[in-house]
Amino acid sequence: MSGWALRHAARSLLPRPGRVIGVATAALLLTLPVLDATRRTGWRADLRTVTTASVLVASVGAFLLAARYGARRPADRLSVRLAVGLCGTGLLAVGYLAAAQLYHRLVVPVAVDGALHALPGRGLALALLAGAFGVALGALWRQPAVLALLLAVLALAELSSRRSGVRVGPFSAAPAWLFGVGQPHDVPGCVSAVPAECVTWTYRHWPAGLVLAGGVLVAVLAAAGSAARRPGGAGGPVVSTGRAVDGGPGLDGGPAGCAEDQPHDAAGGPAAGRVVPGRRWYVWAVGLIVAGLALAPVVIGTGALHATGDLAEGIGTSATVGSVAELPMADAGRLAVFAIGPTEVRDCHAVSGDGTRVDLSPVLGTVRYGDSVSYRWVGTFGVPAPGRWTVACSGDEGEYLVAGSPQVGGLVGRLVEAPRPVGWLLGALPGLLVGGYTALARHRRTGQVDGE
């Protein structure tokens, strides 16, 4: 292949690398909140769990990118498309798995429950297999007859596996993926609505999960291919060769600039490689800001929970809201306030024997410890000197606990006790970057037009 063909293939696979990086970063940040969504209070994932989740995310991303690349039907042979697709998905999987390992060791360090063994290596192999499957489906999605034949082959493989006495076939393993059979005392698989269980069972029975997903996609794409060939218009399906106008989705599925925003060459057509964001990018920026402000406390709070070291839950001095808790401090240090159960705690402060007052510094996000009893971390005091201190908190009803501050490792340990504006800035940063990039690009384009 020539250098131009390689560049064309790479751009067809990853037309907007920034989008891929953004989606991968969001998936990485939201891994722990998703796994923790329906778990008991205080449940914490270990490194094997988050690595398994990262394997699945990388495999899904590899499949989607490869399927999209195959569906574009470039002029290259299928073997070339397969090679480029495997290289691209392999790089994606290696980069994402490596980033997940660093993230969960440095930013949100989680406990290491046993050796990982060959889990990352198997994850890379699974991502490559998903990429190859994606290229094949992408190349065949316009041929419903071939897709129907593929579905028939899978059904025949299932029948032959049953006749030969093989326990697991392409579809017969799907119940284990869905219902978790084989370990009747465990929570069922994906139907349990527990994301962590679904991740574990999907990886454990990944051939069934992959084949089941592939079978569904075969049926859906075959139906879509048949519908596209129905006589809906005189000219048949229209294939766009450029980006959509008026800020709508372009060929690559993302927001494109308005027609008047696209630079043109001397012949009047769009200039290659020069795309100016449309005004609708500001809507995307505002949406990202709103989503970031809502999700930042969730990400920081969940990360702090999983990055917490040993914590003696329930050990400390408790009191009812509206009353005081007295405790001696042998040295200067930090104290944490926990709301017990559904108690709402507010307006906490600590006072020393000589009248020195210290106000509570609230934590970012919601951090809950405990199992049968929930201890919600409200905030911390920085006690400047030893002595006897009195802590008072107000509220409606219930109890609160004053104890040693949790030891949270990694970068999230610094963020969880940072001032609230820091959390707001981190949440709004992606949207601010998109908005700033849009404004700068449009300003430069206006300057070029005025100069002409």
pLDDT of 103 above 70: yes
Side-chain half-sphere exposure of 415, counting CA atoms within 13 A: 25
pLDDT of 304 above 90: yes
- 119 against 366, higher pLDDT: 366
pLDDT tens-digit map of 137-190 = 777 766 667 667 767 766 776 676 666 655 555 666 666 666 655 554 444 566
pLDDT of 94 above 70: yes
pLDDT of 199 above 80: no
- 223 against 349, higher pLDDT: 349
Confidence (pTM): 0.71
8 A C-beta contact, residue 241 and residue 73: no
Classify residue 397 by burial, with Cβ atoms within 10 Å: 0-12, 13-18, 19+: exposed
Q: How many CB atoms lie within 10 A of CB 102?
A: 11
97/91 Cα distance (integer angstroms): 10
The pLDDT of 82-99, averaged and rounded, is 87
Classify residue 145 by burial, with Cβ atoms within 10 Å: 0-12, 13-18, 19+: exposed
- 202 against 251, higher pLDDT: 202
Q: Look at residue 286 in the predicted model and tell me its pLDDT.
A: 93
Average pLDDT of the chain is 75
% pLDDT > 70, the chain: 64
33/301 Cα distance (integer angstroms): 9
Beta strands 399-404 and 387-395: pairing type? unpaired
Beta strands 357-359 and 399-404: pairing type? unpaired
Q: Look at residue 377 in the predicted model and tell me its pLDDT.
A: 92
φ, ψ at 160 (rounded to 5°):
-65, -35
8 A C-beta contact, residue 206 and residue 129: no
pLDDT tens-digit map of 400-409 = 999 888 999 9
Q: Look at residue 239 in the predicted model and tell me its pLDDT.
A: 37
Confidence category of residue 197, pLDDT binned at 50, 70, 90: low
Q: At what angle do helices 144-163 and 119-140 cross, to 10 degrees?
A: 130
pLDDT tens-digit map of 353-377 = 888 899 899 998 889 888 778 899 9
Q: Look at residue 267 in the predicted model and tell me its pLDDT.
A: 40
* Element containing residue 318 per DSSP (H, E): strand 317-320
Q: Look at residue 238 in the predicted model and tell me its pLDDT.
A: 37
Q: Look at residue 446 in the predicted model and tell me its pLDDT.
A: 73
Nearest alpha-carbon partner for 226 in 133, 149, 136, 147: 147
The pLDDT of 65-77, averaged and rounded, is 70
pLDDT tens-digit map of 227-283 = 555 444 333 333 333 443 333 333 343 333 343 444 444 444 444 445 566 778 889
pLDDT of 126 above 50: yes
8 A C-beta contact, residue 176 and residue 209: no
The pLDDT of 67-76, averaged and rounded, is 67
Q: Look at residue 191 in the predicted model and tell me its pLDDT.
A: 60
